[in-house]
Amino acid sequence: MSAVLITGCAGAGKSAIATVLTRRGLACIDDDEDPFLARFVDPAGAVAEEPAELDFAWLSRHSWEWDPARLDELIRAAAPTTLYLCGGADNQLELADRFTHVFLLEIDEPTMLARLDTRQDNEWGRAGDSREYIRRLLPGYQDRLRTFGAIPIDARQPLDQVADAILSHTLANSATSRASRPGNHPAVPPHPRHRA
């Protein structure tokens, strides 16, 4: 079984890349679209409903996490095909051993804010304190991903170029990735919230 993680901050283009990869015939999932994979949880690990008004106090007490069993189920269901997962979670560090490649869709703050302002299908990054929350977390988040070995991709490029850059790594190195030893995968830091 094989899986690839494509992650980045809000507005980096994860959902858009999921659409491009799916159109190219690859097994690809946007983690926001699977109702059983990603969800907010409270400090006790219980699933929590996102409030109408997001504030710093609520965001600091909750995390956006993947259900590990659901992640494993999705990877198994795609086998023997490689699953491309577009998204991210606060617990992705603990689940990094599921992925043969980890890609960081890099963008700068002005690009992120401009994309958040223009998207129509998602209030994350505009509602309540979420915009300032992710703005503050962006630099450290991208730095940590680079430190942990994620492959950086300039996500300001046209979508087809971003997809080509990802596939040039995964398709060229698929044999090497399959042969890699368990535990030899890049680790990934928690994510400030991932809706692309």
For residues 90 and 105, what is the distance between their CA atoms, to the nearest angstrom?
17
Check pLDDT > 80 for residue 36: yes
Tens digits of per-residue pLDDT, 42-81? 999 899 988 878 888 888 889 899 999 999 999 999 999 9
| Helices (runs of H) and strands (runs of E) counted in the chain | 7, 7
Whether domain 3-179 has CATH 3.40.50.300: the reply is yes
The confidence band for 179, taking pLDDT boundaries of 50, 70 and 90, is very low
The predicted pLDDT at position 18 comes to 96
- Alpha-carbon distance of 139 to 136, in angstroms, equals 7
Model pTM? 0.84
The tokens describing 33, both together, are: 């679209």
Q: What is the mean pLDDT of the chain?
A: 84
